[in-house]
Amino acid sequence: MAEAIKYRKERIDRGIKARSDTIYMLSSYRELLYILFPRVLPISFLLLSPIFIGGGYWGKVIFYSCTFALLALSWDLLASVGLISLGQALFFGVGSYVAGGFNFYFKWPLFLTIPLATFGGALICTFLLVPVLRLRGVYFSMVTLILPLLFDHLIETLEILGGTHGLLSLSPFPSHWMAVYIAVVSVILCLFGFRRLLHEDYGFVLRGIREDDRVVMAGGINIYWYKAQTIFIAAMVGCFAGALMTHYYQFVGRSAFALDNTILPLAGVVLGGSGNFAGSVLGTFILVPLSEALRALGGLRMALYSLILIIALATLPEGIFHYLERKYHQFERMVSI
């Protein structure tokens, strides 16, 4: 008889998870580490990178990355209820102009304009989008794409809110560090907050709406009310990002409604992987610094940038985060039989 096998390989992940994704059974210090590592790593990276990189040019890049990460998180939240936005620039622009306008015309300090832009801006965006909530799929996307263009043209032709020149010399943050840390902490809060939310009962209602809204209606839930709430939360995050950028630059202009503010976060989500929020943050934190680094190349920049994006998508269509997550869950250990 062959020698008895005493050990077998087991995925650490399998051993810890008690049937479902959210219930863990931890029995050792190392298992705790296995659970904590993926959470501690991004938090410490986000909190420490501004210190290591310092102020200067790359300090600014960290700040940009954060604002775009917020827009990407906002996009991913909308997607979780099945709304595909092509108008993150709407949130960004409305937030920027509410903060900029109140600061410029009424001299409100930034600790008032930013919360006002967050809530007031989100209300404006929600009211604009609620009438089209019944539109499905691409029709909703089209409307979100058009609205920022509309605002852009209104500001240009009516010469309101500074017209083509924009609003200048707005109040700055007391320091670069304050701006960066507000941005970084917001990204962390949104990232973990949204991940948590989607595991709550509320989140399962949102996911249900994305998968089959008729079943949700038959379950006694008003899908339009939930979609409106989701738009409000997503708009708050996007408007907040815009307000931060306005005061960081001390300027707001028509560029706030530019297509870039839609495309870049979306590209970040696609690169990192959608549906889990972590991918959105990871993707933007790769893309934004990358596009800055390529700035030195001048005209070739966009070409190279696009090439990198295409290669990344062709090799990892599910997104970088999903790939990493899968690999991490495949780690094995020996267990006695």
Partner 1 sequence: MADEVILKVENLTKRFGGIIAVDQVSFELKQGEFLGLIGPNGSGKTTLINLITGFVKPTSGRIYYRNMEITHCPPYQIACLGIARSFQMVRAFHKIPAYKNLIVPLYSPRVRKLSGGKYGERDDMAIDLLDDFGFERDSFVPYKPAGSLPHGYLKRLDLARCMALRPELLILDELFSGMTMSEVSATLPLIEKFNREGLTIIMVEHRLKELFRVANRVIVLNFGRKIADGPPREAMSQKEVQRAYLGTETEG
User: Which residues are near partner 1 by CB under 8 A?
Assistant: 19-21, 200-202, 204-205, 207-208, 211-212, 214-223
3-state secondary structure of 7: strand
Q: Least Å distance between CB 212 and partner 1?
A: 5
Pairing of strands 7-11, 332-336: antiparallel
Based on CB atoms, which residue is closest to partner 1, 159 or 211?
211
Q: Least Å distance between CB 205 and partner 1?
A: 6
How many angstroms separate the CA atoms of 71 and 245, rounded?
12
Based on CB atoms, which residue is closest to partner 1, 226 or 240?
226
Q: Least Å distance between CB 142 and partner 1?
A: 25
Q: Least Å distance between CB 59 and partner 1?
A: 40
DSSP structure class, residue 3: P
Based on CB atoms, which residue is closest to partner 1, 6 or 19?
19
Which residues have C-beta within 8 Å of that of residue 84, sequence separation ≥ 6? 78, 137, 138, 140, 141
Based on CB atoms, which residue is closest to partner 1, 205 or 286?
205
How many angstroms separate the CA atoms of 293 and 214, rounded?
47
CA-only gyration radius of the chain, Å: 22
| Listed residue (261, 244, 232, 310) closest to 111, CA to CA | 244
- Which two structure tokens, joined as six digits, stand for 30? 């190392």
How many angstroms separate the CA atoms of 173 and 180, rounded?
10
Count Cβ atoms within 10 A of the Cβ of residue 231 and give its class: 0-12 exposed, 13-18 middle, 19 or more buried: buried
DSSP structure class, residue 167: B
Based on CB atoms, which residue is closest to partner 1, 221 or 286?
221
How many angstroms separate the CA atoms of 331 and 34, rounded?
10
Q: Least Å distance between CB 219 and partner 1?
A: 4
Q: Least Å distance between CB 41 and partner 1?
A: 27
Q: Least Å distance between CB 279 and partner 1?
A: 16
DSSP structure class, residue 252: B
